[in-house]
Structure 1
Amino acid sequence: MSYLAGGMAISIRGRQASRKEAPILVVAPHSSFLDSCIVYATKMSSVIVRKESMDNYVGKLINYTQPLYVLRDDPNSRQNTIKEIIERATSKENWPQVLIFPEGTCTNRSCLITFKPGGFYPGVPVQPVTIRYPNAKDTVTWTWEGPGALKLLWLTLTQVHSSCEIEFLPVYYPSEEEKRDPKLYARNVRDVMAKALGIPVLDYTYDDCKLQQRAKQLGIPGAAHLRDITELRASLGLSTNNRELELVNPSLASKTRWVDYNTFASWLGLPYNRDAKRLYDIFLHHGTELVYFPDYLVCACFLACQHEPLSVTLLYAFKIFTPNEYGRMNERNYEELVTRCLGFGPEETVMTFREADPDGKGYITFDDFIKYARTKPELEFLFAKDTTHKPKSQ
């Protein structure tokens, strides 16, 4: 009735299987907070939700479904959630069906991204469920970039009529091979759902989105193509030998920093093939038809050190942008560094450089900056693992 009062009509196609037929419901694509209507459409099935959702009014309502809460950034929490899914899916008790959004994050419904295997570990039959919003204006998509929740809710309420279509597909019974391999099971169910929706699949994950978002916020060069860069580095063997880290040394400053394709491939020890050219083209400056090699190195160091505190990437970046072997960086070089690694704006750049150089020497070292950063709460993100920082300038 709440949805109807807001002008949204929910239509249901197909038949929901019983818990005995399919203990787990797999729902996709996940694109909006309005997808919560699926809880009512599936007779109050138990959802898997973020632990943070407990902290608001909606979270209190979710508790009525006997949910499974998970901390997405905590590996132990994920393992515990998988154990709980297995226990509920195979239990003889009269639990509600478990409802899972296997993509793990919101997308714009143009494709299905990688399904997380958590809901497929029990090896029991699942029922795929699709959600569509066949409206002339898309006022529901809530993703990493774009309008916030309140604006989307307002835009949806201003529509005279909105529709949501929920379709229950036939129960999917796993083969013995799929029971042994949850990732294979997840891929095959995704393929069935993508075919029913008439959209492609894309091997992106929530972790890819999170890493790319962090790179964009920090101003890392090539952030928009981070997934492609990761795949190309892997295919070229760079992700295993970390050749780029070896190139970060004082001699880099004496080399020409604007390089053509032949030099780029030579320095990285790459074959002259299609993947190497694609990697080069991502960083190509079309005004010069050359690549600014430090940009590539910063991005590669960020990926190589993604599971380390950001200060580790910053150490390599200091070496890349320091024009001398003494590790002394002037304000101009510092500006180039922090705009590419920390997302600082002009005012932040000037302020932090002067505060890190209280004696007015005109230069700072990496140790000077780290000593300064440890006194500033707003720079704590430098020393924490796997955190997302939103610079003040944004």
Structure 2
Amino acid sequence: MSINNGLAGRPDCANEKLLNPFVHHLELDTTYEKVKTALLTIILLPIRVFVICCFLIAGWLVASAGLWGLTEEELLEKPLSGWRRQLVPVVCFFGKFTCWAGGMYLIVKGKKAPRSEAPILVMAPHSTFLDAGIIYSIGSPSIIAKREYKNNQYITKLINFTQPIYVFRDDPDSRHNTIKEIIKRATSKLDWPQILIFPEGTCTNRSCLITFKAGAFYPGVPVQPVCIRYPNKIDTVTWTWDGPGALKLLWLTLTRPYSYCEIEFLPVYTPNDEEKRDPKLFANNVRKVMAKALGVPISDYTYDDCKLLTRAKEMNLPQAISIMDLQKLRHSLGMACTTQEEALVDSGTNLDLSKVSYNEFAKLLNIPPMEMSTKLLFSIYNKDDSGIIDMREYLLCVLAINQTTVEAVNTAFKIYDQSGQGRLRLEDFIKAVHHTLALTEDTATDIFHQVDINKLGYITFNSFMLHAEGREDLENLLYRNKEEKFIKKHGQFCPPDDHGRKRD
């Protein structure tokens, strides 16, 4: 039975926009831009790449010379000195000219404070891998670098010459050690380079400042906020979780006649006693100062939201890019738990959830229809402004994002089961695995026919899982990470500790 009541209750959200800092759309819209890019790809790009490589090699050679005879442990113990320190301006020279060779013109506003006044520089917003070139344009401060970079022998020398602090972001111990090292250097009497930190921890589209991580603010020392802008007509630098890849951005940037980067050093921010005791308060107050200078709002998005977005995209959940908006809107409506959605899926309702109007959506979830958050929540799935959504997509996003992949597939089978008997027809099976395992229609169709060997016209979750157990490609999709593979093997969430007990 359909519960579609036409367009009744359709929300008007034309004047309301959900701010998503992790999305960047870039297309060359005009024929002129496309032709110009094609010509400059042939004429300008090879020259720029050659000159950039020359400067990078020269900088790498100087950095290698400066690090000659030093171990990584020695780099962590004390700052470079003597003739090694005198090579820093030389590496910075090659770094600046590498940016210049790529057509990047740097505009500096304000004055950079010395280390004695501000041991830490906090720069935001972080929006592109090209921000790394800024390091050499402002005196080669120490950076916080991902430990994965150590595996790249070609850039390790250039990074190590800044005496970085390496961090493995998914390792809790590494995070603790990183904070200890930041505190040690920031409060040291030795002549360490200033520490440059991007407190957002990930790239955004510069539409707002997301939550600052507290690492830069634990030492409780004065910091200098540094604002960064890319005031270009066509934004070819922004590298976000949903947008062009690094190679496309690099190509389009190098085929622009020129690009601008603007750095503004704000006055040094000295924390008061309360901010020294509360690094999060310190971080938030500095963020407000920077947001005001940039003329952008602040947002409570975090790096963890990026990880959530990545998982949603890997699974190909419907409207994956809006998964953070979905979570925040539900929370604002008092829907911290998913009990309402779970009850709706488990109720075995005969309602046609593929066609749900706005009023029905609010009624099914028992949320106030007059609330703006309700309207915005509905608008995420109201793709063509028809006033009708496929509520199964909403339910899948809410329930599957916090489940293991196997549990998510099982949930998808329930949501797309029109029979009420745990049986999926071909068209429903395609949707279930397309939006959890990111399988194509052709692949899903082949799997369906392989499972349905008796030509019943339907398959069940159990029959699909039995088939998947014998296929390495499906097992890799169903058990994506170490925890899920452990669950598959041992049937428990936490491996036993050294005494054979399960961890809490």
Provide the C-alpha distance between the structure 2 equivalents of 1:91 and 1:375, rounded to a whole number of angstroms.
58
Which of 378, 384, 395 aligns to 1:280? It is: 378
Selected match of 2:124 from 15, 18, 28: 28
2:194 counterpart of 1:97 = yes
Could you tell me whether the CA contact under 8 Å between 1:24 and 1:98 is conserved in 2? yes
Aligned to 1:340: 435
- Relative to structure 1, is the Cα distance of residues 223 and 5 closer, same or farther in structure 2, using a 3 angstrom cutoff? closer
1:239 is paired with a residue of what secondary structure? coil
Matched with 2:464 is 369
Scaled by the length of structure 1, the TM-score of the pair is 0.87
Alpha-carbon distance in structure 2 between the residues aligned to 1:129 and 1:242: 45
Q: Assess, with a 3 A threshold, how the Cα gap between structure 1 residues 235 and 109 changes in structure 2: closer, same or farther.
A: closer
Q: CA deviation at 1:232?
A: 1.7
Normalized against structure 2, the TM-score is what? 0.69
Q: 2 CA distance for matches of 1:263 and 1:134?
A: 45
Match of 2:229 among 104, 128, 132: 132
Equivalence map 1:218-229=2 (5 Å) = 218-229=315-326
| Stretch of structure 1 that moved more, 15-24 or 356-365 | 356-365
1:50 paired with 2:146, answer yes
SS class of match (1:328): coil
Aligned equivalents of 1:136, 1:324: Cα separation in 2: 54
Shift of 1:164: 2.5
Which stretch of structure 1 is more off in the superposition, 4-13 or 222-231?
A: 4-13
* Aligned twin of 1:292: 390
8 A contact 1:114–1:203 mirrored in 2: yes
- In 2, the alpha carbon distance for the partners of 1:318 and 1:161 equals 52
SS at match of 1:270: coil
The whole-number CA distance in structure 1 between the counterparts of 2:382 and 2:103 is 49
Which amino acid is 2:161 matched to? Y
In structure 2, do the counterparts of structure 1 residues 237 and 106 end up closer, same or farther at CA, with 3 Å as the change threshold?
same
From 166, 172, 192, the equivalent of 1:69 is 166
- Counterpart of 1:256 (choices 340, 352, 372) is 352
The one of the two structures with greater contact order (alpha-carbon pairs below 8 A, sep at least 6) is: 2
Post-superposition Cα deviations, 1:75-105, rounded to whole Å, max 9, x if no partner, equal 3432332232223222333332221111212
Structure 1 residues 369 and 175, CA, compared in 2 at 3 Å: closer, same or farther?
A: farther
1:85 aligned partner: 182
**What's the offset of the Cα at 1:142?**
2.3
Match of 1:392 in 2: none
Give the C-alpha shift of residue 351 in structure 1.
2.0
| Residues 224, 328 of structure 1: alpha-carbon distance in 2 compared, 3 angstrom cutoff | same
User: Is the aligned partner of 1:317 residue 2:412?
Assistant: yes
Q: 1:265 aligns with which of 341, 362, 366?
A: 362
Map of 1:142 onto structure 2 = 239
Q: Deviations over 1:141-185 (max 9, x none)?
A: 222244333333333333333332222211111122222332222
- 8 A contact 1:250–1:324 mirrored in 2: no
Aligned mates of 1:140, 1:350 — CA distance in 2? 40
Q: Secondary structure at the match of 1:318?
A: helix
Change (3 A) 1:371 1:3: same
- Work out which of the residue numbers 353, 368, 371 in structure 1 matches 2:448: 353
CA–CA separation in structure 1 for the residues paired with 2:192 and 2:374: 53
> Quick check: 1:328 aligned with 2:426?
no
The alignment partner of 2:224 has SS state of strand
Aligned partner of residue 256 in structure 1, secondary structure = coil
Q: After alignment, is 48-57 or 186-195 more displaced?
A: 48-57
What letter corresponds to residue 25 of structure 1 in structure 2? Answer: L
Alignment-derived partner of residue 3 in structure 1: 99
- CA distance change for structure 1 residues 131 and 386 in 2, over 3 Å: closer, same or farther? farther
> Structure 1 residues 141 and 218, CA, compared in 2 at 3 Å: closer, same or farther?
same
Q: 8 Å contact 1:82–1:121 — kept in the other structure?
A: yes
1:314 CA displacement: 1.8
Alpha-carbon distance, 1:250 to partner: 5.7
Counterparts of 1:157 and 1:259 in 2: how far apart (Å)? 48
Deviations 1:119-162 (A, max 9, x none): 22222211111222333443322222443333333333333333
Of 98, 111, 115, which residue of structure 1 is paired with 2:212? 115
Change (3 A) 1:284 1:158: closer
Q: 2:108 aligns with which of 12, 22, 37?
A: 12
Where do 1:208-227 residues align within 5 Å? 208-227=305-324
Q: Structure 1 residues 234, 135: CA separation in 2 closer, same or farther (over 3 Å shift)?
A: closer
Residues paired across the two proteins, number: 383
Residues 300-334 of structure 1: CA deviation (Å, up to 9, x unaligned): 1024x2xx422222221111122345423232220
Give 1:62 deviation, angstroms. 0.6
C-alpha deviation, 1:210, in angstroms? 3.5
Say which of 337, 341, 357 aligns to 1:240: 337
Query: Is this contact kept in 1: 2:187–2:219, CA < 8 A?
Result: yes
- Residue 459 of structure 2 aligns to which amino acid in structure 1? I
Q: Which amino acid aligns with 2:222?
A: P
- Paired with 2:464 and 2:218, the residues of 1 have a C-alpha distance of 47
Give the 3 Å change call, closer, same or farther, for CA 76–325 of structure 1 in structure 2.
farther
Q: Distance in 1 between matches of 2:443 and 2:259?
A: 45
User: Sequence identity, in percent?
Assistant: 51
Runs of at least 5 residues in structure 2 that lack an aligned partner in the other structure: 1-96, 484-504
Over the residues paired in the alignment, what is the CA RMSD in angstroms? 2.7
Question: What amino acid maps onto 2:135 in structure 1?
Answer: V
CA distance in 1, matches of 2:325, 2:313: 15
- Partner residue of 1:390? none
Deviations 1:254-279 (A, max 9, x none): 22323333433333232344133432
Distance 1:290 1:49, change over 3 A: same
